[in-house]
Amino acid sequence: MTYSNKIALIVRNDLLDWQKLNVASFLASAVAIEFPEVHGKPFVNASGSQYLPFVKHPVLVYQADDESQLKRAYARARERNLRIGIYTEPLFATKNEEENHIEIAKCTDDEQPLVGLVMYGDNKAVNKALDGLKFHP
């Protein structure tokens, strides 16, 4: 099945592995929470055990070699009215949602130290916002 929308994550490549996984997990959850239409159905195995559903769209993960590539993708996504989620560097030191909100509120769009983005929207618009980025290895 082909979907008309796409979920794309962009993670800065110079992060530690645990940081990359953390960023990707939080950003993917943002789309799952905000857009119920991306929710799949629960899985049931042959024993009748039920398991949590996946997001039914593919989640594509791209790498950014530096913050400038993230900022470019961010600007291109905004120009195309895509829904965006951000992860900034100070969030690695926070301990809860309240602290996350405080850290995010400290910076303007131009000042935020991005380490990851998620964007969701029309396939073609997402592809244009991602122009020049490569899949994460």
pLDDT of residue 137: 85
Residue 2 has pLDDT above 80, yes or no: no
Please answer whether residues 67 and 114 qualify as being in contact, where contact means their C-beta atoms are separated by less than 8 angstroms: yes
pTM as predicted: 0.92
Longest Cα–Cα distance of the chain, Å, equals 52
Pairing of strands 43-44, 59-64: unpaired
- The CA-atom distances, in angstroms, between 24 and each of 2, 32, 38, 130 are 23, 12, 17, 16
pLDDT of residue 3: 80
Burial zone of 16 (CB within 10 Å; 0-12 exposed, 13-18 middle, 19+ buried): exposed
User: Alpha-carbon distance 128 to 120, whole Å?
Assistant: 12
Q: Mean pLDDT across the stretch 43-71?
A: 95
Q: Mean pLDDT across the stretch 59-84?
A: 97
Please answer whether residues 76 and 89 qualify as being in contact, where contact means their C-beta atoms are separated by less than 8 angstroms: no
Q: Mean pLDDT across the stretch 75-97?
A: 97
Residue 56 has pLDDT above 90, yes or no: no
Nearest to 20 by CA among 136, 120, 102: 136
For residue 89, what is the DSSP state?
Answer: G
Counting residues of the chain whose pLDDT is more than 90, the rounded percentage is: 93
Domains of the chain and any CATH numbers: 5-35+54-135 (3.40.1490.10)
Q: Which residues pair with 118 in a beta bridge?
A: 9, 85
User: What percent of the chain is helix, strand and coil (3-state, nearest 5)?
Assistant: 40, 25, 35
Residue 1 has pLDDT above 70, yes or no: no
pLDDT of residue 24: 97
Please answer whether residues 121 and 34 qualify as being in contact, where contact means their C-beta atoms are separated by less than 8 angstroms: no
